[in-house]
Structure 1
Amino acid sequence: MSSISQIWSFLEKFGVRMDDPQVYKAYDGILNGLQEMGLSSKEARILLYLVTRKQATAVDISKHNDIGRTETYNHITSLMSRGLVFSNFGRPQKYYALPLDKAIDHLVETRREALQHLLAAKEEYCKMIEKASSSMSLSNVEEKNSYQILSGKNALSSTIKRITLGAKEEIILLLNEKTFVDLYHAGIMDDVASMAKRGIAVRLQTSYKNTQEYAGGTRQAVGNNKIVIESIEEKMVNFVLVDNKEIVVMLLDGKPEKSKLHGFYTNNLPIISVFKAFFEKSG
């Protein structure tokens, strides 16, 4: 049985027919989810192959996933060290994986424990680094005219949340329908509403027509300020601009459901002025 046939067989258990065009999207979604939890692209493919195949030799894994033999063994070793894949004592050795639901639970719990440990030790780590830095003769970091390339929804959402919660005067958002809903589900629109209640001016331009479903009367005055919403046509670029000092730009290729969201952060004032002018002309 070919690799794609095994994938189809697996997905059919969840009610997806072999001729359903959603099969590739579902498969890609599973792979992307596994990568979001720390697996490499090839590790995710091998894990899903073993889930659907039940068990396989390294030779089979290498052949059906188009991965070199030595590299395959390295990825198998990595998956075994993560507690996701097992080997028997036979010859040739065969490998099998946890069921997908248990594998996901295992990855989530492992990530949760690591994050909790990091959070608990955050203050101590920061003090150690600050102490080490202060003992060296180093020039201050030039924070102006800096930028970050951001890849994936999580990185973008985290950066947007950080600059939004740090706003002192104004938050400007230009969002298409999908981005608006994504930011809502990430809790960022709630953060924006909270900042408006503190007196931060908020201006939102969006192509989404039912903002009241999510924003709940955001045209109304909030505290001493209000969120001003303007309806616009769909744009290929979305951004969140804070205090005319920091901006996160989200770049869309026209098929956001099939590609990973990318963007960038910058505090470069000339770049920011271009997007501010674009916002003023869009309204």
Structure 2
Amino acid sequence: MTHDLTILYDTILFMMSTDGNVNNEILGGLEELGLSQYEASAYYSLLGKGMVSATEIAYFSNLPRTKIYFILKKLEKKNLVFINYQKPLMFRALSPKDSFGNILSKYENRIKSLKKIIESLQQINENGLKNKGIEEKRYLVLNQFSTDSKIIELIKNTNESIDISLNHWGNVILNASKEEILKAIYRGVKVRILFDFMCRDDSIILPNAIDKKSAKISTNMYIFDNNSMIIINNDGTKSAYFDSHEIFVPTLVSQFNDTWVKMETVSLENNKVESINL
């Protein structure tokens, strides 16, 4: 938000330096920085005019003359206007750079305070849920491109094992990460893959170092070091990433292991998966 305010401030300074009619975007920006509609109009009208009278300001800004003194006094309190109190009263706009720099500093301090309040509210919420035996969890939903990138990232960080279950469409996903899987095998990572019975014979080439079995697979799933996983929908367009804190991760790990034990090791010829030696 601070960055956005800085951009807004720079934009206002640039637009104020150009000639032309009063721009609604400038006035809107001034209002976002804390000025009222009347204050924004009066301050904008003062810019670049030096010392002017209240009557002139009312004319330039099209504001009611009965309210102009009150508006200018408020601008003075905000360090945006200098008032010469010798009669007749004269007014001059102060430097936008200096004036709005102070306003931005106030916003930054306000944002810091709001962040602390939000953190306190979050803590109150979490403590309340914990006392009721409820724990809030989140997971990441990824698109197809992010899924491939996330899988490759997790493979690179895997130290011990990668377990994969693939339905008849899943070989497309496996092909995208095959090179990283080969590198993981060279590092000593154990890789097991459960293929669906419907996997095509020419869809992928895998090394003998990968343990392979066939089973009835409905869900594409990658498990990394038995504590994090990615579950991918049937067409590979979306996926969800879960870490070890999710309660069902150990359950799905056990389910994979049970299926693995029940199924016989696949004959490469019967499984129609071509092998290559490392």
* TM bracket (short chain): 0.3 to 0.5
Normalising by structure 1, we get a TM-score of 0.40
TM-score, normalised relative to structure 2 = 0.41
